Each structure stands twice: as C-alpha cells, then as structure tokens.
Structure 1
Amino acid sequence: MPWIPIISVILCISLIQTTLLHHIRILGIQPDLFIIFLVFHSLNSKLERSFHTNWVIGLAKDCFTEGLFGLNTVLFVIAGYAISIIKDNIYGKHLATQISVTFIISLLYNFLYLFMFSISFTSTGFLSVVWKSPIIAVYNSIIVPPVFWLLNRFYSSFGFPSLRRKTR
C-alpha cells in the first residue's frame, strides 16, 4: 500500500482543518475534511486498505482536534466499513452519490459523536448540540465536488484506482 501519498493527504487535511477552516465558519460550524476524505477513500479503495486508512484518518483527527481521544478512530473505522459494504451496490463516480453518501455518513458520525460527547460531559446537553449535526452534514456535502475533484486528481497521479466501476 502506498502510504506516503495517503499520509501526505492526511497531514495536508490536518493542516487545513486546524488553520484555514476556522475562517470560513457558518453559525460557528466548519466543514470536516476528515470525513470527506474518509468517504472518498472508502469509495475508492478495497476493504483492507480502507480499514487501515480509516483508522489512520481517525487517529489523525483525534491528534489534531479537541474532544474525546479515540472516539474519532472508532467512529471512522465503523463509518468506513459501512461505506465499503455498500460501495459495490452504488455508483461511486456519480456526483449525487458522492454528495449523498457524504451527507449520510457525516450526519450519522456527528450525531454519534455529539451523543457520546454529551454523555461524557454532563454539562453539555445533547439537545443543545444535536442541531449542529444536519448543518455540518450539509456543509460537508456542499464542498464535496471540489474536494473530491482534487483528491481524484491527486490519486490518479499516484496510480491509485479511479472511481470507475469495473465491468464484469
């Protein structure tokens, strides 16, 4: 597995997520490039590669963002596994599919993360933060086209398989 390009993308995403995206917040919410890369990579690779990469993406998010350490890693592995299971039944190159999978995974991930966060910290009420999940999911879905385009160009330059389905 070519880990150098994958680690490079994860480090770039970490840098952008922790520095630049704070300036484009809407209602105090910023897009999550980690989830977008998780969806892209899970749609674009085999289950084994996806599992290891999703674990590294979750670990990077745990290291570079605040919150419960380890929770992102677990949720990213579960989300990536769910995408890997359904990816053979969907057409991953279609923009509507990419946007809808990103929306659904983002919504479920944020709902579960905020639920676990509110359980862990009693001062944070679950209902007071639950409204953020759909907004984050919409925000992530809006920026999917340019991010997927950039990632697809980067992947194809390193010889990764494209999002085209193989004919049987």
Structure 2
Amino acid sequence: SVKGVLRKGKLLRVELESKGRDDRHLYLHMGMTGRISCPGRVMKLESLKGDCAYPPPHTHLILKANGHEAAYSDPRRFGKVILRPVTEDEFAELAPDALNDGSDYDGIVESTTGIKKLLLDQRAVVSGIGNWICDEVLYQTQIHPDQTMLTSQ
C-alpha cells in the first residue's frame, strides 16, 4: 500500500508499505516528457488519436494501490523509475528544492562555474530547475548562461 507521496526537485517519491517485507520507496523522474495519468484524467495531448484513452500510449508502468490506479508514461524514455529500500534515500543526494523558502543561494553567487551549468546540476546548489525554465529565467534576468561570480559584471 502507499504510505505517502513526496516531491523534491524533479524527483517524485512514492513511499510503499509491504507486509512481511522491508518497506521500499518508488522514485519517478519524469524526464522531458514523462507523465502520470489516472483513469478519466488523461490529457488529450498524450493520445496519438487525440482522445482520452487510458492507459495512454507509451505507458511503462501502472501502479495499483488502495483501490486507485495511475499510469506512468514517457514517449521519449528520458525518465526513470527506481525501486529502492527505505535505507537508500535518493532525496539525500539532491540539493535543496527550488520551491522551498529559506534555501541558501550563496553557492550560486560565489561559484566559478557557469550559472546555467550550476542551476541544471540537481546536486549542486538547488534542485528542480530544468533546461527550459533555466533558459527562460536567465533570458528574463539578462544573465549570460556562462557567467560566473554573479556579483561581477
């Protein structure tokens, strides 16, 4: 059964409880095109025919728990599905989440690495920023992707 679902950065963790076995965590990374759909809630853009058929095309995993069902689909196969014992926490390797308040961004200001490379590294300073968000933020703030030491011009 599912005990809980959490997100950190671009990684989703489904906490699983099993009777007679060690509990496990199922990690889902959507990549560029991964999606989770439920019966009756499939977006038309996921279907080759433009309908809302469930499960959608390119479904790689169907999860059933607690009387509910969800399908993980990924047409381009850039995503990941990882099953780990609770003791192997994939979240521990990630930098603080971009959407959490109170994150320390001094590492970005003082870094000698280009800002885009730093923002895309999910383990460096912040997690949860993908390529198109990074490009848009840097464009809107007029910061060159290769700029380092953000206090300098």
TM range (shorter): under 0.3
Q: Taking CA–CA contacts closer than 8 Å with sequence separation of 6 or more, which of the two structures ends up with the larger relative contact order? A: 1
Name whichever structure is richer in strand by fraction: 2
Higher normalized helix content (fraction of residues): 1
Structure (1 or 2) with the larger CA radius of gyration? 2
